[in-house]
Amino acid sequence: MREAHPIEQAVGIDYYVSDADGIGGQLRTDPEDFRVAEIEHFDPEPVDADPGAYPEVLLRATLREWDTNDFAGRISDALGISRERVAWAGTKDKHAVTTQLFTVRDVDPDAVDALAVRGAEIEVLGRTGRSISFGDLHGNRFEIRIRDAEPTAAELTRETTAALREFADGDGAAGVPNWFGQQRFGSQRPVTHEVGLNIVRREWREAVLAYVANPFETEREATRNARQFVAEEAASDDPDWQACLDEMPGYLGYERSMLHRLVEDGADAPDDFRHALEAVPWNLQRLFVNAAQSYVFNRILSERLRRGLPFDRPIDGDVCCFVDREAPDGLYAPDTDRLQRVSGKRVSVMERHCDRGRAFVTAPLVGAETELADGEPGEIERELLDELALTPTDFELPGSFESTGTRRAILVRTDLTVEAEELTFEFALPSGSYATGVMREFMKSEPMDL
């Protein structure tokens, strides 16, 4: 297997599973080169339904170069409401054209319909009785164009496609490891998992500094200088948090919010730093811990590949899940509520299910209620948790930081079509899987080009 780039290895992604040379090129040269549309799974009532019973207004937004969190903040500001009243099912890439659903609680649908937001087309769909959440999304459809590829791109694309189809059923399907992509951890500055690991270990001060300090060369100079200033102050005997706040640029709003709490509430006890972390929106608090879980997952999957174990079929000790029977046709979505431990004679039975696209091997997104695998897969999981000084019960955390955990398929399967002349890839992925996990196998470019 080819080794991954160092920046990918820093977030647990160690390998490619196709050996063909990459076609190179770049994604997102223009936002229209990367189009994402949600496969929706959330039906509204009519817009004139009783607002007492259906307080949420459901809207569909097509966004050009909008971070999902930033767009939620923009519409909450425009409507004069708390950002906590805006919800969505999935966070999307900023440098793209994305179509996705949002709900907004206790607002006038006409006010939403009248919103004029740069780079956004907004359509009110109706009312719902609750806010939208992660489970209300089947998946996403992608249309992705690669620019500036190698002259032999068409030939290499065919070679890689043939290799990836060995891991999936059917002539049109391809299978790749279900990595958490670079953007899960921060494309320019992959630190969210470091923050999350500190949180899970209850190292609250270290978590704040991993986010606020910790400069990266990929950042602009003013940002690097401000983070370095915070790092040096934090290392002193009597840190001046007000000076740190003064030094932090206004565009780093979350960092400033954390520092402001340290100034206002003090920084004398571990809980002061936990309170500072809670200055950011609840979904970002959860994202920190989710990123730590994602890093552990990637590491487990990498170790499985390093040992030469399959990721498209089970071995003794694995935990498998079945396919989601409610998913739309053509979307190979796992149902991690339907788990099956695999041992003895059951291994060959589950091999057949996996070969036919009816089941997936899983690895843990470790949380407070996670049950680990048996056999060699369980050995990998336990050894890695020991290396990171973590246990499932460590995820019994306060507030939005807590996670019960689950399991996740280690293979993602998709029906893939490629238009060779313009190198346009079209495919659909279940919710939570990353398009870059597919594209990196073809491009083998620096992660910054993905």
d(CA 37, CA 35): 7
Catalytic residue among 33, 93, 324, 394: 93
d(CA 240, CA 336): 48
The CATH number assigned to the domain with range 33-138 reads: 3.30.70.3160
d(CA 306, CA 318): 17
One-letter amino acid of 374: D
CATH superfamily of this structure's domain 284-409: TruD, catalytic domain (3.30.2350.20)
Positions in the chain whose pLDDT score sits under 70: 169-171
Dump pLDDT digits (tens) for 297-348: 999 999 999 999 999 999 999 999 999 998 998 899 999 999 999 999 999 9
d(CA 319, CA 213): 39
Sheet with 334-341, strands from edge to edge, namely: 334-341, 319-323, 359-365, 406-409
Q: Can 110 be counted among the known catalytic residues?
A: no
**Residue from 59, 17, 95 nearest 312 by CA:** 17
Can you give the pLDDT at residue 194? 97
Q: Would you kindly state where each structural domain of the chain is located, as residue ranges? A: 6-27+146-178+413-449, 33-138, 192-280, 284-409
pTM of the model: 0.92
Strand partners, 364: 407
CATH topology of domain 192-280: Hypothetical Protein Yqey; Chain: A; domain1 (1.10.1510)
